[in-house]
Amino acid sequence: MKLTRLLLVLSAGSFMLVSGSCNGEKSVSDGAVEKAEKLVAQMTLEEKIGQMSQLDLGYFRDQEQLKQAVRDGRCGSLLNFLGTEQVNELQRIAVEESRLGIPLIIGRDVIHGYRTIFPIPLGMAASWNPEAVRQAFRISAIEASSHGIRWTFAPMIDITWDPRWGRIAEGCGEDPFLASTLAAAMVKGIQGDSLDDPTSLAACAKHYVGYGFAEAGRDYNTTWIPEPLLRNAVLKPFHAAKEAGAQTFMSAFNDLNGVPTSGNEFTLKKILREEWGFDGFVVSDWASVTEMVNHGFAEDEKHAAEIAIRAGVEMEMATTSYYDNIKALLDDKKITMEQIDDAVMNILKVKYRLGLFDNPYADPEAEKKILDPAFLEHARSVARQSAVLLKNENAALPLDADKISSVAVIGPLADAPRDQLGTWCFDGRGENSVTPLKAVRDLMGEKRVNYVQALPYSRDRNKAGFAAAVAAARRSDAILFFGGEEWILSGEGQSRGEIDMPGAQSELLEALAATGKPVILVVMAGRPLAIGRELELSDAVLYAWHAGTMAGPAITDLLFGKESPSGKLPVTFVKGAGQIPFYYYRNNTGRPATDASWTPFDSIPTVNPQSSLGYRSFHLDYGFTPLLPFGYGLSYTTFDYSDLTLSSQVMKMDRTLTVRAKVTNSGEMDADEIVQFYVRDRVGSITRPIKELKGYKRLRINRGETADVEFTLTASDLAFFNGHKTVTEPGLFDVWIGPNSEEGLHDDFILE
C-alpha cells in the first residue's frame, strides 16, 4: 500500500497523515490561557511543585507508590512510561482520583522513529527533503501516541562542526539554513495539523543551546560561542522550531561561555521569551539542573533549583531539586510565587492545547497501525533518498541483477539488524529490520549470493575470517562490502577521538580489492568517517548512514539501479580527526591557501632552508581542502548547470532579487538532483563566511530534460548579527547555483 493510498483509508481523526502546518496560532486551543489561569488559582503549592516535576519510572519502588504519587499530584509528567493499558490507568487515576483532575503528560525519546525506524536524523538531513522528513516524524508520532506518549524530546537540532561528537548522529549537520528547514519540518510532523488530535505529540526543541560545540567533541563538555556565531548559526534552527509551533524547549547539559544553559537567563529569558515570544514551557535535560553543582555554578541542589527557576526552566527532568527545595526557597525569598505560578501556567497551557483535559486516554485500537506497510514503505523511501553516492569509478554501479552470476556480500554490517537502526532508538526492534543481506538474497536468490561476515562486529581486529571472504570474492562478479560503525559507537556519550573505520575493516577491504573484482563499499555509520583510504580501495562508495528498519531494501534498490542515489552530504567530510573543525561556511583568513601555495606532504624537501612552505593557511599533511565538501553527492546520471541569470545586477533594500539557472539531465537515467544556492557577503562590519547556503530545491529531472530553477533573495536573507545588532549592509555580494558547496555557476550583484 502506498503512502498516498493510506491517506484515504486511515480514519480522518486519529491517523490522518496531514500535510498542513502546525503554527502557534492554529495549534492553540481556544481558552488555554484562561483555563490555565483559573486552574492555577485553585492549586496548592504542593500541586504546583508536582506539575514542575517530571519523574522517570525508575524513581518509584513499585506500581503502588507510582499510583499514589499520581493521586497526590506529586508529578505532572512521567518519563519512559508507556503502554496503552498502563498509561490509561494512570491517566484515569490522575483525572478521577487526584484533587483537581490534572492529566499527566507522558514523555519519551522518539528521535527517528518509534517502531518503524527511519534513518538517523543526520541521514535524513542528507535527503534535503523537508516534506519526506515531515511525513517520517508524523508516522513516528502516530505510532508513539498509540501507546499513550504525547510528548517527545525531539527534534534534536544542535549545529555541530565536530564529527567526533557522538550526538552528531541525532542532528541535521553543520549548516544553519538546512537545519532550520528540517527543524520546522520535524516539528510539524511531530505535532501534526492540530495539537489536540490524539496522534499529536508536543515537540521539544533540544538541546538549547550550544551543546553541539562541546570542546574536542567530548560529550557534555564546555562550550565557548561568541554571540555573533551563536545568533548567526547556532540559534537559527531553534528559532525555526519555535516559529513552526514547538510547544517545549529543553535546556542543555553544557555551560555556555561559563554559564550552564539550564541556568542561563540570557538564552532562556532574553532570547527565548522576550525576543522570540515563546509561550510553551522549558524542561531541563536529564539531571541538568543538579549538574550545575558539578559545573561549579551552584553551591548545592537547593541553589541549583533557585538558579534554574529564576532562569526559566519550568519543569525538572528526573532529579528532585525542585520538589525538595521550592518551599524553602520561597520562605527564604530566593524565588517568588509569581515565578512558580508562571511556570505552572506554561505547563498547563501545553496540556490544554494537547487536549489532555478533554481526552487523556490512548485508543486501544490505535496500536494496530504500528509497522503499517505504508509506514515501512515510507521508511524505505527516506532511506533511499538519504544515501549519498561518494564515488562511482568506471560506472561500477548500478549492478545488473540479470547479467551478473553472483555477488559476494561481506562485512560486519551486512546482516546486523540492530546496528542498522542506529543510536537513540529505544523502541525499534531488530526483529523488524530487513538487512542488506536479506534484501540482496530476496532479489538475486540465495544461491547467487556468497555471504561471509568475516568480521563479527565493526571493531573486531581478528583476521581469521579474511581467507573465506577473499575466496567468496574470487568466485563472484562483484563485491558488496558493508562496513562502518556499530550503533553503540555513536549517540550520547559515544564520542570518538579518531573517526577512522574501526577494527580491521580497512585491512579486509584491502584484501578484497587485491582480488581485482569490483569493490562496492556501503558505509553504515552514525557519523562522517575519515574514509580517504577506503575511497581509494573501492570502485564505488555509497554512504548509507544507519538507515533504519528498511535499510536493506533501500540500499538494494540503489545498488541494483531501481533508483539513483540522490542524497547530498549535510556535513563536511574531513580527511582525519586532526582537520576538525572544518565546515564550509568558515571565514576567510588573511592568507587563504591555494593550490600554488601548498606543497604536498611527501614532496617537502628533506634538506631545506627555513621556510613556511607558502605562508598560507593549511595543514602540511592534510592540505587545505576537506575529503568531501558539504552538499556533495553523485548520481547515476549527469546534471549540467547553465544559463545563470540575475533579475538585476543591483538590488534595492526594499526589493527582491531573483537568481535563475537551468539544470539539464544529460545522462541516461531519470533522477533527482538537489540544486543548491549560495551567497557571499564580500565585506561586512564583522568578517563574513566565504559562502552561506540560502536556498535549495530537490528536483525530479527526467533524462534529456531541462529544469528551470530560481531562488529569490530579500534584504532580510542577507542580515546578520554583527556583535551589536542585526543588520543588512549594502555592498557587493556573490551568488552561486550548483550541485555542492565547492562547485557552481557564479555571478555577483550590488545591494544598495
Positions marked active-site:
285
- Are 657 and 646 within 8 A, CB to CB? yes
- Are 379 and 550 within 8 A, CB to CB? yes
- Are 690 and 585 within 8 A, CB to CB? yes
Residue 3: Cβ within 10 Å count: 17
The DSSP output letter for 332 is T
Q: Report the half-sphere exposure of 207 (CA within 13 A, side-chain side).
A: 27
Burial readout 723-746 (b: 16 or more C-beta within 10 A, e: otherwise): eeeeeeeeeebebbbbbbbbebbe
C-alpha cell at 179: 537545519
Listed in sequence order, the residues at least 6 apart from 250 whose beta carbon sits closer than 8 Å to its beta carbon are 153, 204, 205, 206, 207, 208, 282, 283, 284, 285
Strand boundaries in 422-528, DSSP class E: 449-452, 478-484, 519-524
C-alpha cell at 453: 561476515
What is the biggest distance separating any 2 CA atoms in the chain, rounded to whole angstroms? 86
Residue 615: Cβ within 10 Å count: 9
Considering only CA atoms, which of 210, 201, 187, 220 is closest in space to residue 121? 187
- Are 114 and 103 within 8 A, CB to CB? no
Q: Is 653 helix (H, G, I), strand (E, B) or coil?
A: coil
The DSSP output letter for 665 is E
- Are 283 and 54 within 8 A, CB to CB? yes
Listed in sequence order, the residues at least 6 apart from 522 whose beta carbon sits closer than 8 Å to its beta carbon are 413, 436, 480, 481, 482, 483, 541, 542, 544, 555, 559
Listed in sequence order, the residues at least 6 apart from 80 whose beta carbon sits closer than 8 Å to its beta carbon are 56, 57, 58, 107, 108, 426
CA dist., res. 213 & res. 211, Å (int) = 5
CA dist., res. 193 & res. 608, Å (int) = 68
Side chain identity at residue 252, one-letter code: A
For residue 671, what is the enclosing H or E element? Answer: strand 671-681
Peptide linkage before 163 cis (omega within 30 of 0): no
- Are 507 and 470 within 8 A, CB to CB? no
CA dist., res. 37 & res. 41, Å (int) = 6
Residue 101: Cβ within 10 Å count: 13
C-alpha cell at 399: 549492478
- Are 52 and 314 within 8 A, CB to CB? yes
Listed in sequence order, the residues at least 6 apart from 209 whose beta carbon sits closer than 8 Å to its beta carbon are 230, 234, 235, 238, 252, 256, 261, 267
CA dist., res. 374 & res. 343, Å (int) = 41
